[in-house]
Amino acid sequence: MANVTRRANKDGTTSYRVKVSAGVGADGRYVYRSATFTPPTKLTARQTEKAVQEFALNFEQRVQRGLFAETDLTVDGLAQKWLTEFCEPNLKPHTTEDYKKLLPRVSAAIGHIKLSKLQPGHIQEFYKQLAQPGIREDGKYKAKAAFIEAFPKGTRIELQKAAGLSQGTMAAIMQGRTVSKQSAEKIAAAAGWAFTKAFSCTSTDTLSASSQRHYHLMLSSMFGAAVRWQLMDANPCERVTPPKLVEQDVEFLDETGIADLLAALPDAPVQLSVITQLALFTGARRGEICGLRWSDIDLDAGVMAINRNLSYIAHKGTIFDYPKTKKSRRCIKLSDDCIALLKDYKQWQMRERLKVGTLWQRTVAIEGGKVVKNDLLFTKPDGKPIDPNVVSSWFPVFLREHGLPPCRFHSLRHSNAALLIAAHVPATTVAGRLGHAQVSTTTNIYAGFIRSSDAAAADALGNVFDRIKQRQEIG
């Protein structure tokens, strides 16, 4: 039974202190929890009594269910708890890093609100803000010419290390391409420049539908954990209208675009050229290709195994991890052209390694922290793992310099899938080669290609039957 004490406040209002037994603690002593309730001043005496009784009963039930713990915890506090107790032990490092990048906007909007006071309306209002023009004011920043000129090539490595940025991000900054506000702030601080003198904002667009959806998925996971931890009664994200998921066209290169790209690749650095061709030939993800070892490839059998993923995490460096899903761990049959490419590349790599001599890093720590002989396909000159971000930052620049249509490196994976579907390869086979956990993932992403391919198949079948009918008429 809750104990209720009436209190007269100095401002003339009346509050009620509710005290409830929470059982016996680890030291054998009784534990009590208390809360203060201040009813609205316009209530009648009977309405006030009823409101106090309802509050006391609700509080007692929460205490009995263990929901009394950390009642003052805010959304910001929950976010940190969720990162350290759920994300870091259970999720892949790059996934946790992506969540960390989303949290500042959440913190600014609802971070100060206590979990006990958080309502679905707060979440809905936040989603409304995400859809407003100008929300991406911190999205894209470009280094000013004076800043770039102040740091010639020989001075940039130390600045990059001081800022804790990847080579790819540093290259993007110094090439005058856009980066996130977070990266821009880090490099400006490391250089000792005022942020507004070093960078200018280039985008005030709205967030994409997929980005807005990512916030909803993250908050759903975070508040879901709070419910499991008995910090909240219910997940507020279950009672809001989530951002709409707008189906976007998949970006890919057609046969002409692929031919033009392959014709230009002899001008590219050898490693980046081979990585690009592997993406086209196999449909593997960037991190999967960058994490390849020669022991993953059987050139005689023409098979490549995807056993790991390589990513770059700020302040941690390159990290090997297991593939995205169980189905992502797969074997891909290689074409004759791909086998020839890898054989030539292996000879090139051996020659480059001889130039380095004893400076070559002989071992490498792969997924699970296992230290193995360094037989990585793609490395820095000293044998250390390549930064996958370098690939993504180099690719659009290469396309632009060679007058090719702009597209993302990930579009090469889509291009591979489009070619397979156009060749009437079964969806199950396409899904297996791409490493999709479910065939439905493949059919959903490439629905447009499948419809076009299916229509072409129907036309081809119709032509066959037309020829059969013609023969029958002649006969």
Q: Which of 44-58, 110-124, 245-259 has the lowest mean pLDDT?
A: 245-259
- pLDDT band with cut points at 50, 70 and 90 for residue 448: confident
Q: Mean of the pLDDT values across residues 267-287?
A: 96
The domain segmentation of the chain, as residue ranges, is: 3-64, 75-132+207-239, 135-201, 269-396
pLDDT of residue 112: 94
Asked if the model's pLDDT at residue 101 lies above 70, the reply is: yes
**What's the burial of 334, exposed, middle or buried (CB within 10 Å: 0-12/13-18/19+)?**
buried
Distance from C-alpha of 335 to C-alpha of 420, rounded to nearest angstrom: 13
- CA dist 5 → 16, 44, 52, 64 (Å): 5, 19, 10, 20
Asked if the model's pLDDT at residue 475 lies above 60, the reply is: no
Q: Mean of the pLDDT values across residues 403-415?
A: 93
Q: Mean of the pLDDT values across residues 181-200?
A: 91
User: Strand pairing of 297-298 and 317-321?
Assistant: unpaired
Asked if the model's pLDDT at residue 134 lies above 80, the reply is: no
CA 309 to chain centroid, in Å, comes to 14
pLDDT of residue 450: 66
Q: Mean of the pLDDT values across residues 113-126?
A: 92
Q: Mean of the pLDDT values across residues 182-203?
A: 89
Asked if the model's pLDDT at residue 455 lies above 80, the reply is: no
pLDDT of residue 440: 86
* CATH code assigned to 75-132+207-239: 1.10.150.130
Q: Which of 33-37, 297-301, 349-353 has the lowest mean pLDDT?
A: 33-37
Q: What one-letter code names the amino acid at 241?
A: T
Distance from C-alpha of 182 to C-alpha of 102, rounded to nearest angstrom: 11
Asked if the model's pLDDT at residue 443 lies above 90, the reply is: no
Predicted TM-score (pTM) of this structure: 0.69
Asked if the model's pLDDT at residue 138 lies above 60, the reply is: no
pLDDT of residue 460: 58
**Sheet harboring 3-8: ordered strands across?**
3-8, 14-24, 30-37
Q: Mean of the pLDDT values across residues 313-326?
A: 88
Contacts for 393 with CB less than 8 Å, ≥ 6 apart: 168, 169, 171, 172, 177
* CATH code assigned to 135-201: 1.10.260
In 3-state terms, what secondary structure has residue 363? strand
pLDDT of residue 22: 79
Asked if the model's pLDDT at residue 416 lies above 80, the reply is: yes
Diameter over CA atoms, the chain: 108
pLDDT of residue 225: 95
Across the chain, mean pLDDT equals: 88
Looking at per-residue pLDDT, the higher value among 223 and 425 belongs to: 223
Pick the CATH number of 269-396 from 3.40.30.10, 1.10.443.10, 3.30.420.40, 2.30.33.40: 1.10.443.10
Q: Which of 64-73, 148-157, 271-280, 317-326 has the lowest mean pLDDT?
A: 64-73
pLDDT in tens, 361-394: 999 999 989 999 999 999 999 999 999 999 999 9
